[in-house]
Chains A and B, each alone.
Chain A
């Protein structure tokens, strides 16, 4: 049988790049995962599920599994609802530019913050002596630890993902559709029920799944807020390993997390992904006019959103306050001492984190465009598989990835634990999919003939990539690189297993500070991270705007710490 014509005469550059990427993926994604699975299913060289049954047989662990799913479902529902409220208001309530900007800032903050920030502020506000529950409302004996506190914190942290996913959907559906339905005689409520909602359903499902995954993977929030009566898998796995030195038990617990995470990923990719009526571009201004809502409803919507947004800003104000008073709750004298502390004692953590973030940034950006290019332009079998492999570490909760790395890279022949490389690799392979997707999307808009023109003029694949493709997908490159930087500054769930005496991270310091009751430095570190990340986000966005009008960093694809 004659072979089907290959699109291009083989270019060794692309083949070599693909081989390199495949090798990297095999080494940094598949191998650790296999090592993890081996720990779970191999006992004394025997394949079996004995260990799995033993660990999951413990009531505490079973409860953690059930709790994780319950929490993720609830966060999915409440976060999507809140996100929809915001998106609907932004798209339809005809906000002025200033108010829309206010909502944007309030929703951006949780996405770019280090973990714990919402949790810390919530504890201050809602505990037995909380500023709100006790001082303001005079309530007594309120506990924040447990399901409700965790749910509240995660909802506030992750609902912006739903907002950013749903806003373009609702905006793009546009007013034309509404006007059409209205001119056909529908009432506003009827319109909402029969037109807006059904069209938004795939978007809602998508948002739900994203939030579900984010909550499932969240490690920091439950560590602070879940308390002991509501254990969840990521924290249990962490305690199993770091507290009891039961790597195997931790591996099993993280494996239990893997099953729902993979299910959600596949659902999102192959089911919801194909049912999106409106493509999500990531950018849609507050273009709506108040056609779809009555003035009264509009007032309610706007008021609700502003209330939530104001509450988020209040939480951050509290954080800033805690960073500049001597001892929060006892001595509110103004001091910059905590900042002095983080820049002296915390200097190593800051230095290490910046080094790792700065190393990961270009590597992650490059890796993202390279994989995106290979997937979009390559024509070899297994290209889809390559893309799927590149998405794995992103889809999996950080706890799994961290434990898998710990197992895979702790002993010779590949003893990488303790190096910066392992942390950088963890971030690059975990947070590049944003860049990969952006690259693929951008390449779909660039006619292939540009590359062929370059080729016909005598350029080899490498030159074409460098001189033609790369300049054209720079926005994707910077978007990918920005996300890797932000995550390198803020993530903890995977890398908490990978820090070492030589390389530590700000987020891990924050956690230590919190457990050491050094709240001021914890707050100061958090503020520092937020400022750095905002500055970098601002710079990247400014750059993106210059490169291509109207494009912004797709922060929505960044869920999960």
Chain B
């Protein structure tokens, strides 16, 4: 099928906003001035906490909702005022939205029937796509007779059988159990790449986002706060919000002591560190936050001059140990992989915390 799907197209959002009338607050933004360019064939994920405007943005791309400002382009075509039925999209809903009164075959065939395709062609294409999602033989079943995972595949099959130029997913896996979720997300990813369809994927699960996406747009309060691939977001969060939302992180309060090209000196709870960092926009005496991933922390026996901490909790998990530590600068999480036998620190024990000097993200206190 990929052969005749046509060349993939890009999607552009230019200053797109959506406003709703709130009973108490008046007009509120569900999406605000969203500008975004999605490359042809790319899978971009909108990630963010509940209520941040992911669904609203996606629905505006689909045409279920009209933006209050801005333009939306699919390919070179301005679709801002085009009805969903004319946008050539496939949409996979969180609730699957299978037509309960139609058989699986008819559900999948629906888009083709609406397009008045010939019966033979429909049968062939529905058969092929059901094969593709591993549901051959389920044609005569009704949606209610299928498991959640199977229904999800039908929803997917129904969306792709019409060879849309754009595939849109709104939390398609949130109703599945953890294991199936992992399996399905790689299937979706594989299929999307194979068909070469540009896709926008909405989720609030950062792991799912990282696993499936080419790029991720992190949203907060209706705005895109950072856009990048998974590693950039993890390694270089642009704000404490992103740092906390993507993976686990410790945000240690620190003060800048010295700024030199490629080296920044900070003090953290009385201990001094010299970090390899660009130091742009930092100045002496500035309050900052250090983004420290738990797995970047190492522990050693207590010694003077080092950042001292007390072990408050210890969870032994076989391949790793998780520590809950208390420092003068606040609580700190640490994860030690492959701990040596008998080499863990019991609760109450005083330890020295060692932070890496490379790759730590320094965020000004204001960048929240």
Contact = CB atoms under 8 A, between A and B. Distances in A.
**In the complex, A touching B, CB below 8 Å?**
yes
Interface of A: 1-11, 447, 449-450, 452-460, 463, 467-468, 471-472
Contacts of B27: 1-2, 4
A457 B154 CA distance: 14
A1 B93 CA distance: 33
Interface residues of B, number: 42
A452 B97 contact: yes
B85 interface: yes
Nearest to A449: B97
Contacts of A455: 63-64, 83-85
Given A9-B82, A452-B84, A453-B99, A458 B115 contact: yes
Interface in B5-27: 17-21, 27
B65 A8 contact: yes
B326 to A, nearest CB: 48
A258 B85 CA distance: 47
A471 B101 contact: yes
Contacts of B99: 450, 453-454, 468
A459 B110 CA distance: 9
Contact of A4 (B19, B81, B86, B89): B19
18 contacts: A2-B27, A4-B27, A5-B67, A8-B64, A9-B82, A449-B95, A453-B99, A454-B99, A455-B63, A455-B84, A455-B85, A456-B84, A456-B87, A456-B89, A456-B168, A457-B111, A458-B162, A459-B110
A511 to B, nearest CB: 45
A499 to B, nearest CB: 41
A471 to B, nearest CB: 5
B91 interface: yes
B346 interface: no
Nearest to A460: B85
B21 A456 contact: no
Nearest to A472: B101
A6 B66 contact: yes
A11 B83 contact: yes
A472 B158 contact: no
A457 B97 CA distance: 12
Contacts of A8: 64-66, 84
Nearest to B83: A9
A459 B97 contact: no
B84 A447 contact: no
Q: Is the interface of A mostly helix, strand, loop or mixed?
A: loop
B85 A447 contact: no
Interface in B32-52: none
Given A5-B19, A449-B97, A452-B84, A457 B68 contact: no
B66 A5 contact: yes
A9 B97 contact: no
A457 B82 CA distance: 14
A5 B97 contact: no
Contacts of A463: 114
B69 interface: yes
Interface string B118-151: 0000000000000000000000000000000000
A463 B95 CA distance: 22
Contacts of B330: none
B93 A453 contact: yes
Most buried by A among B64, B65, B86: B64
Given A457-B158, A457-B162, A458-B85, A5 B111 contact: no
